Amino acid sequence: MSLLFTPTTLPSPDGGLVLPNRIVVAPMCQYQAVNGEATDWHLMHWGNLLNSGAALFTIEATGVLPEGRITPACLGLWDDRTEAALADKLHRARKLAPHTAVCIQLAHAGRKASSKLPWQGGQLLAREEGGWEPVGPSALPQLPQEPPPVELTREGMERVKAAFVEAAIRCARLGVEAIELHAAHGYLMHEFLSPIANQRTDAYGGSLENRMRFPLEVFAALRSAFRGVLGVRISASDWVEGAWDVEQSAVFAQQLKALGCDFIHVSSGGVSPQQQIALGANYQVPFAKRIREASGMLTTAVGLITEPQQAEDILQAGDADLIALARAFLYNPRWGWHAAAALGGQVEGNPVYWRCLPREAQSVFGKVAVGTR
């Protein structure tokens, strides 16, 4: 029996979420929103990946405040207008694939906000170009040549926390089954955790306990507001000597579990241009293994996992509980089907597609291919 196609349950206060397999579509920024609103691109993109064979689809990083977006073209969920646009596209897409659970990643980009689109260089966007003034835990820029962000005051931190809570309430109205708090890749929550970006001298900077304080407060507020599945994506290492690392991440994960965290999604990097990442297949899996061992939480591995047997081997080794893929799904939106064919598993699929399978993959849907007169 393939572990990748064995069911698992994500716990939550409202009873938990049963997933028929262990495949997750990781959040992927699309940069196709207009003033934070989801567009027809999202309808197409979500409808496609909801039919991918994955058990859980994650909507891209979604800004809880306008100034919390990475770029002006990023998705948002901060008012009735952005909620209505997201609801329209999501509900229409889900009608085509009601069998797939949906997670949404709530985010604030911190000092990496107000950026140009990746294919335009991704650098800080000036005000005259449509940008805005980013904020961060300290007045330290992401890149040395950039102006520093505005250091968040305690009042500003409370505003950010309240925005996450308001977005979570909107998520409940949208009917999503899970929320992932974005605390990775150099964005605001990660900035508070990392001594590279956080050099505050108050109760929110300095020691590990202090640097964890604000992300933990935000998580606790989210937990109080949302009874569905609630998890966190972290960067387990800054890949910079003496900075945020996997052992600090393990402590953070333990604290999150004590506050009611249901899963942890383990990535790395993003807070410093000085990072030295040892890229390669499974390069982040050891981080997931260590955090899983330390916290006992359901753990998601991600990063250069591209082949079905590779994903299966990670699970068989006990290094993670779920496998997330991002770019592999953009290249092959039916990755879950191919994995099922390779590993002898089955996935749900719209009957429209039942007859498309080649002979060697006929069992993927557990249905007999239908013909026409």
Which residues does the annotation mark as catalytic? Answer: 187
How many residues are given for the chain?
Answer: 373
As a whole number of angstroms, the distance between CA 2 and CA 345 comes to: 7
Q: Please, are residues 299 and 291 in contact by the beta-carbon 8 Å criterion?
A: yes
Nearest-5° angle of CA 196, CA 200, CA 203? Answer: 125
As a whole number of angstroms, the distance between CA 187 and CA 164 comes to: 14
As a whole number of angstroms, the distance between CA 368 and CA 363 comes to: 8
Q: State which H helix or E strand residue 51 sits in.
A: none
Per DSSP bridges, beta strands 150-151 and 17-19 are unpaired
Beta carbons within 8 Å of 57's beta carbon, 6+ residues apart: 24, 25, 46, 49, 50, 100, 101, 102, 103
Q: Please, are residues 309 and 343 in contact by the beta-carbon 8 Å criterion?
A: yes
Q: Please, are residues 197 and 271 in contact by the beta-carbon 8 Å criterion?
A: yes
